[in-house]
């Protein structure tokens, strides 16, 4: 669902569940975001991550946010997977 442009900083826009069935360091996963967007990712409990707004959104400048979520394990060699996250920013009457 769209994120309103007046959403306060820290608004959760997506919850991601990440798991790796391996044991030891091979099963320990971390996530990060890449791309230009006013979003950040925060670790939560049980292998969950929250994508939250990191700064104000402006629908007139950007109607759609695209970032890549990169999940990487701590094994050697490290294995990873990525997915694109697309969020629509909805307009709010600014007047």
pLDDT at 27: 75
pLDDT at 95: 60
Which architecture characterizes domain 3-90 according to CATH? Answer: Sandwich (2.60)
Q: Where are the beta strands (DSSP E) in the chain?
A: 3-4, 12-17, 29-34, 39-43, 48-53, 64-73, 80-90
**Spatial distance between the Cα atoms of 31 and 40, rounded to a whole number of angstroms:** 11
User: What is the helix (H) or strand (E) element at residue 94, kind and residue range?
Assistant: none
Q: What is the pLDDT of residues 37-80, one digit of tens each?
A: 899 999 988 889 999 999 999 999 999 999 999 999 888 888 89
- What global pTM score does this model have? 0.86
Q: Which residues pair with 33 in a beta bridge?
A: 69
Q: What is the mean pLDDT of residues 11-25?
A: 87
Pick 47 or 7 by higher pLDDT.
Answer: 7
**What are the extents of the domains in the chain?**
3-90
Pick 29 or 49 by higher pLDDT.
Answer: 49
Cβ neighbours of 53 (radius 10 Å)? 20
pLDDT at 93 over 80: no
């Amino acid at each position: 669902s769209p994120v309103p442009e007046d959403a306060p900083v820290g608004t959760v826009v997506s919850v991601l569940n990440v798991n790796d069935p391996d044991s030891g360091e091979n099963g320990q996963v971390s996530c990060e975001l890449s791309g230009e967007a006013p979003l950040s990712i925060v670790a939560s409990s049980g292998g969950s991550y929250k994508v939250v707004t990191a700064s104000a959104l402006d629908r007139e400048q950007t109607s759609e946010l695209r970032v890549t979520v990169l999940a990487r394990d701590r094994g050697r060699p490290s294995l990873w997977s990525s997915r694109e996250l697309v969020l629509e920013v909805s307009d709010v009457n600014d007047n």
